[in-house]
């Protein structure tokens, strides 16, 4: 495993970070989830990312239980706040001071820790003054409940405003967690250069484009039973933007490139995002321990310019690069 600094801070994190979105507390049994976490630890992963909204708080509890007994100083634990949790009361969502201050205490209890290393705003809240949100984060840092603050799926302008306020209030906003993959590159033109200028790193989710870049989806065929694309409860809706024959055919054409690099398709996808200097970590999940062991083989891989160029040539115009997509895919008002 290799480690990278997160933003302009002194915090080092594992460049392959274990995330438990969509798996813990929902798709896999708790004992299997624990096996996956332990496999991650065995492979040198020290950084774990979750959120209070995952499985409506259950994912945090599963992760906390799985990490019990580990030396806390050896771990970097991340969680997030914004989306509705609990019974969905009028203040159970957003980035108000009330919701943030109550949410951090709930997260710490479920994670069985006194602090998180990174506390992230899961989306931008258009209905709460940014000053109120950032003051709450500042107080959480001063109370020792979080060491650093990050954001997720914020635009370049929102990140700039957040960093400016964090400096005024005496704490560090050091990370951004966007979607990023060979197929989804909307952060490259605005978010990445702004972040690099401000000392903010990316912790990217879905480096395998919700599994499409693994090559398991074949053009002209129904998705495999049990796959995300076959999950009508939500997974199929998330992945549908990539589920067309043009994209899937081009993804299949990546196989010779992966083989030439000595990588599986999934490993190539993870390694690709890690070539970006502004990316501190790629988030990977797992429903089986062996998936963790395979994913970590992307750590430390250097792809030469010719490989990167071949990937661009194969994918061509199916790649989404429009920076406006970050704002378009964000909630336009607070989710109630």
13 lies in some domain: yes
In a domain? residue 159: yes
pLDDT at 220: 75
Least reliable range by pLDDT among 28-37, 122-131, 186-195: 28-37
Spatial distance between the Cα atoms of 13 and 45, rounded to a whole number of angstroms: 9
Q: How far apart are CA 310 and CA 255, in angstroms?
A: 11
pLDDT at 239: 78
Q: Which residues contact 83 (CB under 8 A, 6 or more apart)?
A: 51, 52, 53, 93, 122, 123, 335
Average pLDDT, the chain: 91
pLDDT (tens digit per residue) in 12-49: 999 999 998 766 555 567 788 899 999 999 999 999 99
Is residue 335, in this structure, part of any structural domain at all?
Answer: no
Rounded Cα distance, 243 and 223, in Å: 9
Tens digits of per-residue pLDDT, 137-161? 999 999 999 999 999 999 999 999 9
> Tokens 């798996």 identify what position?
23
- The pLDDT of 154-178, averaged and rounded, is 97
Structural domains counted in the chain: 1
| Between 296 and 329, the higher pLDDT residue | 296
What is the predicted pLDDT for the residue at 54?
87
Asked if residue 288 is part of any domain, the answer here is yes
Which one, of 91, 200, 87, 212, lies nearest residue 152 by Cα?
200
pLDDT for the residue numbered 226: 61
CATH number of residue 76's parent domain: 3.20.20.100
Query: For position 263, what pLDDT does the model report?
Result: 95
In the chain, what's the furthest Cα-to-Cα distance? 55
Crossing angle of helices 97-111/130-142, nearest 10°? 40
Q: Mark whether 18 is an active-site residue.
A: no
pLDDT over 80 (residue 222): no
What would the mean pLDDT of 289-299 be, rounded to a whole number? 93
Does residue 333 lie in a domain region?
A: no
User: Quick check: is 25 in a domain?
Assistant: yes
Mean pLDDT on 182-211 = 96
In percent, the amount of the chain with pLDDT more than 90 equals 77
Mean pLDDT of the 119-127 span: 95
Give residue 80's domain range: 3-328
- Least confident window among 117-121, 216-220, 313-317: 216-220
| Residue 229 confidence (pLDDT) above 80 | no
99 within domain boundaries? yes
Q: Which residue has the higher pLDDT, 195 or 54?
A: 195
3-state SS string for the chain: CCEEECCCCCCEEECEEEECCCCECCCECHHHHHHHHHHHHHCCCCEEECCCCHHHHHHHHHHHHHCCCCCHHHCEEEEEECCCCCCCCCCCCCCCHHHHHHHHHHHHHHHCCCCEEEEEECCCCCCCCHHHHHHHHHHHHHCCCEEEEEECCCCHHHHHHHHHHHHHHCCCEEEECCECCCCECCCCCCHHHHHHHHCCEEEEECCCHHHHHHCCCCCCCCCCCCCHHHCCCCHHHHHHHHCCHHHHHHHHCCHHHHHHCCCCHHHHHHHHHHCCCCEEEEEECCCCHHHHHHHHHHCCCCCCHHHHHHHHHHHHHHCECCCHHHHHCCCCCCCC
Q: Which of 5, 18, 54, 115 is labelled catalytic?
A: 54
* Residue 332 banded pLDDT, cuts 50, 70, 90: confident
* pLDDT > 70: percent of the chain: 93
Four-point Cα dihedral 281, 285, 289, 292, nearest 10: -30
CA dihedral 63, 65, 68, 70 (to 10 degrees): -20
Q: Please state, in angstroms and as integers, the Cα–Cα distance from residue 216 to each residue in 71, 209, 294, 318, following that order.
A: 38, 12, 15, 18
Query: What pLDDT is stored for residue 281 in this prediction?
Result: 97
Answer whether residue 181 shows pLDDT above 60.
yes
Tokens 């991650």 belong to 40
Residue 231's pLDDT is 58
Residue 329 has pLDDT above 80, yes or no: no
pLDDT, tens digit, 9 for 90 and up, residues 233-289:
655 567 778 989 899 999 999 999 999 999 999 999 999 999 999 999 999 988 889
Q: Is residue 336 part of a domain?
A: no
């Amino acid at each position: 495993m290799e480690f990278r600094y997160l933003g302009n801070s002194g915090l080092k994190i594992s460049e392959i970070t274990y995330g438990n979105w969509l798996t813990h507390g929902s798709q896999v049994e708790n004992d299997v989830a624990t096996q996956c976490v332990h496999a991650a630890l065995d492979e040198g992963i020290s950084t774990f990312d979750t959120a209070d909204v995952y499985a409506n708080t259950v994912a945090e509890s599963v992760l906390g239980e799985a990490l019990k007994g580990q030396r806390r100083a050896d771990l970097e634990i991340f969680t997030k706040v914004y989306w509705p949790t609990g019974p969905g009361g009028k203040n159970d969502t957003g980035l108000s001071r009330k919701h943030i201050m109550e949410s951090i205490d709930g997260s710490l209890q479920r994670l069985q820790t006194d602090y998180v290393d990174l506390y992230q705003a899961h989306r931008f809240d258009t209905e709460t003054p940014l000053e109120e949100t950032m003051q709450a984060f500042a107080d959480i840092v001063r109370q020792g409940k979080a060491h650093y603050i990050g954001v997720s799926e914020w635009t370049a302008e929102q990140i700039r405003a957040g960093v400016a306020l964090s400096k005024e209030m005496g704490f560090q906003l050091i990370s951004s967690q966007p979607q990023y993959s060979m197929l989804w590159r909307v952060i490259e033109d605005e978010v990445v250069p702004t972040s690099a200028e401000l000392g903010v790193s990316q912790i990217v989710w879905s480096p395998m484009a919700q599994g499409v870049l693994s090559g398991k989806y074949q053009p002209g065929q129904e998705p495999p039973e049990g796959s995300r694309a076959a999950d009508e409860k939500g997974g199929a809706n998330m992945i549908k933007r990539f589920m067309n024959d043009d994209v899937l055919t081009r993804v299949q054409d990546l196989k010779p490139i992966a083989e030439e690099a000595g990588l599986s398709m999934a490993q190539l996808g993870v390694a690709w995002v890690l070539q970006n200097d502004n990316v501190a970590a790629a988030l990977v999940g797992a429903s089986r321990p062996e998936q963790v062991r395979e994913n970590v083989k992307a750590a430390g891989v250097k792809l030469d310019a010719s490989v990167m160029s071949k990937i661009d040539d194969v994918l061509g115009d199916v790649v989404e690069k429009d920076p406006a997509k970050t704002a378009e895919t964000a909630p336009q008002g607070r989710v109630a």
